[in-house]
Amino acid sequence: MIWNETIETMSREELKNLQSERLVSLARYVYEHCPLYKKKFDDTGVLPSDIKGIEDITKLPFTNKLDMRDSYPFGLFSRPRTDLVELHVSSGTTGNPTLVGYTRDDIRLWGEVMARALCCAGAERDDTIQIAYGYGLFTGGLGFHYGAMEMGLTIIPTSSGQTKRQLKIMQDFQPRILACTPSYALYMAEEAKEIGLDPRLASWKIGVFGAEPWSESMRGEIEQAWDMLATDIYGLSEIIGPGVSQECQYKDGLHLFSDVFYPEIIDPETGHPVPEGQDGELVITTLTKQGIPLIRYRTRDIVSMTYEPCRCGRTSPRTSKIKGRTDDMIVVRGINVFPSQIEHVLLGIEGTHPHYQIVIDRQAHKLDQVEIMVEVDEAIFSDEIKRMHALEQTIKKEIEAVLSIGVTVRLVEPKTIARSEGKAKRVIDKRQM
């Protein structure tokens, strides 16, 4: 089933006309409503009247995460706070978090693209969905919620965690759709086996997994463990949350809803477009958003993209799975982590040195483990164990407060961590992805 057949199967020519029309109004809208964009346009020497169609998009300036952070909280908004009905905050980065806000129409748009995504994954109107993404400031839980509401599914909003309860609810209510991070899906399979439940007999037959990178081999493991179809969903808070792109049953790229989120793939160094099919940074313009529309937002996610039509009948461009990032952000259990956040914490704790390493590991079917090795003053090692332990706990607590994920901390003597001549190797990612 295709949720919005008119839009999702439009010819490329019609789609281009729609995108053009929308970009022309968007350029005018942000110029008139957002002083920061007016300044960016003026600095670039471009006027809204210069934008006559989608091909003119390259005349417009890029927007990046720094623009969002520097304008925190409301500087990049095109609507007054009173028009916003919901706010979300994205994890990651030091200093100000990234704030996004939605008008009532933006929430409707979110519901629409998420309904398209759920249908694309194979959901049917009479399905039940268990939403085991976190509800709250993270966009996962509520984004799925709005889409499932729009489609009229029966929603079980379990949010994340409490795995035994998740499994009991699945057994009792028999939902066919599961939405959570791919690592949580694997973890739940292991927990199921531990309590004597055969995951292959579970009611979940379609998974909508995203918010973190995952590989084809991980897909294989999940599909095998649960006997289900595991599909990939992509999105980011700045653009809308989940619902930017989604795989269909053919799992041959993620359909990007380009009538509302216009994609460009650029060379991250030069900013110029790369030829179709080549890897580059995904840049998105939100063509119809009102609260905080973004022009040419640099996602920092690396993908390739094709306009070849798909067997499912959708004509939208498709991207590859996310192949990496242009910055040092890592995603652990769906949460964005920047090494600089950890550095910032360590700087404020006496006795620690600015040499640290983050080791991420995923033991078979367990949630990702994060260990932080920190070099500390020699003297600490000759002190009582109690003092060392206290320092370890202080570092652990402060890092956990900033990252919102559990970590273990290991204190090591000075010069234990290998020095590098170039960029310090802060992250050792042992997960097989």
41 or 297: CB nearest ligand DLL: 297
- Strands 98-102 and 335-337 turn out to be unpaired
Q: Which stretch binds ligand DLL (CB under 6 A): 4-12, 20-28, 206-214, 270-278?
A: 206-214
**Binding status of residue 237 toward ligand DLL by CB under 6 A:** yes
**258 touches ligand DLL by CB under 6 A:** no
The answer to whether the CB of 361 falls within 8 A of the CB of 369 is yes
Residue 350: burial class (beta carbons within 10 Å; 0-12, 13-18, 19+): exposed
Q: In what order do the strands lie in the sheet with 128-131?
A: 154-156, 128-131, 177-180, 206-210, 229-236, 241-247, 254-256, 318-319, 305-306
Amino acid at 192: A
Q: Smallest distance, Å, CB 128 to ligand DLL?
A: 19
Contacts of 3 (CB under 8 A, 6+ apart): 112, 115, 116, 118, 119, 120, 151
Beta-sheet pairing, 154-156 with 128-131: parallel
Tell me, residue by residue from 66 to 105, as one string, x for binding to ligand DLL by CB under 6 A and - for no binding. Answer: ------------------------xx--------------
Tell me the residue nearest to ligand DLL as measured from the CB.
210
Q: Phi and psi of 353, rounded to 5°?
A: -110, 160
Residue 242 CB, nearest approach to ligand DLL (Å): 4
Residue 210 interacting with ligand DLL (CB under 6 A): yes
**Of residues 54 and 120, the one with the C-beta less far from ligand DLL:** 120
Q: Is 241 helix (H, G, I), strand (E, B) or coil?
A: strand
Residues 304-343 within binding reach of ligand DLL (CB under 6 A): 322, 325, 331, 336
The answer to whether 255 and 318 are in contact (CB under 8 A) is yes
Q: Does 211 bind ligand DLL (CB under 6 A)?
A: yes
Instruction: Report, in Å, the least distance between residue 131 CB and ligand DLL.
Output: 10
Count residues binding ligand DLL (CB under 6 A): 23
Does the footprint of ligand DLL cover residue 247 (CB under 6 A)? Answer: no
Asked whether position 140 contacts ligand DLL by CB under 6 A, the answer is: yes
Kind of pairing between the strands at 128-131 and 98-102? unpaired
User: With respect to ligand DLL, which residue has the nearer C-beta, 281 or 375?
Assistant: 281
Q: Does 26 bind ligand DLL (CB under 6 A)?
A: no
Q: What is the C-alpha separation between 246 and 88, in angstroms, rounded?
A: 21
Residue from 111, 207, 241, 263 that binds ligand DLL (CB under 6 A)? Answer: 241
Q: Which residues bind ligand DLL (CB under 6 A)?
A: 90-91, 133, 139-140, 210-213, 232-237, 241-242, 299, 301, 322, 325, 331, 336
